[in-house]
């Protein structure tokens, strides 16, 4: 039972354009969401997060949008840069009574110069 889904295994975008990575979840109890970026042979690094009390969080070129009614979140990268080429994972958690995160399967982003 995949509670967090990233249905696009890969995405290619031209440098300077917007990258949109999507994530869907099934558990309505999730109330905290994160995006991680992973380069080859390295561990994931935290990118941006959002609490369920918000519908948008922005940090520089990165913005995460949360649509609770659709159980959907997205990560927007504007403008995309070649250094953004990596695998992006979304993760979700229920913050009350647990410290566990459920990860999606990842989307490989390639930014073309």
Partner 1 sequence: NAGVTQTPKFRILKIGQSMTLQCAQDMNHNYMYWYRQDPGMGLKLIYYSVGAGITDKGEVPNGYNVSRSTTEDFPLRLELAAPSQTSVYFCASGQGLNQPQHFGDGTRLSIL
CB of 15 vs partner 1, minimal distance in Å: 27
Among 21, 44, 80, 109, binds partner 1 (CB under 8 A): 44
The label of the residue with tokens 């070129």 reads 61
| Contact flag: residue 4 with partner 1 (CB under 8 A) | yes
As a whole number of angstroms, the distance between CA 7 and CA 27 comes to 16
Q: Which stretch binds partner 1 (CB under 8 A): 13-21, 43-51, 56-64, 69-77?
A: 43-51
Q: Which residues contact 67 (CB under 8 A, 6 or more apart)?
A: 55, 73
- Asked if residues 37 and 44 have their Cβ atoms less than 8 Å apart, the reply is yes
As a whole number of angstroms, the distance between CA 79 and CA 60 comes to 10
Q: Which stretch binds partner 1 (CB under 8 A): 11-19, 39-47, 61-69, 76-84?
A: 39-47
For partner 1, the binding residues (CB under 8 A) are 4, 6, 9, 32, 34, 36, 41-46, 49, 51, 89, 95, 99-106
């Amino acid at each position: 039972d995949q509670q967090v889904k990233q249905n696009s295994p890969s995405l290619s975008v031209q440098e300077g354009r917007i990258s949109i990575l999507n994530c869907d979840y099934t558990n309505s109890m999730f109330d905290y969401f994160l995006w991680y970026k992973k380069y080859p042979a390295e561990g994931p690094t935290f990118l941006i997060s959002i609490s369920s009390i918000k519908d948008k969080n922005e940090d520089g070129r990165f913005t995460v949008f949360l649509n609770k009614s659709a159980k959907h979140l997205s990560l927007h990268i504007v403008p995309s840069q070649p250094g953004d080429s990596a695998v992006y994972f979304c993760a979700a958690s229920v913050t009350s009574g647990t410290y566990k995160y459920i990860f999606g399967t990842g989307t490989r982003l390639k930014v073309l110069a």
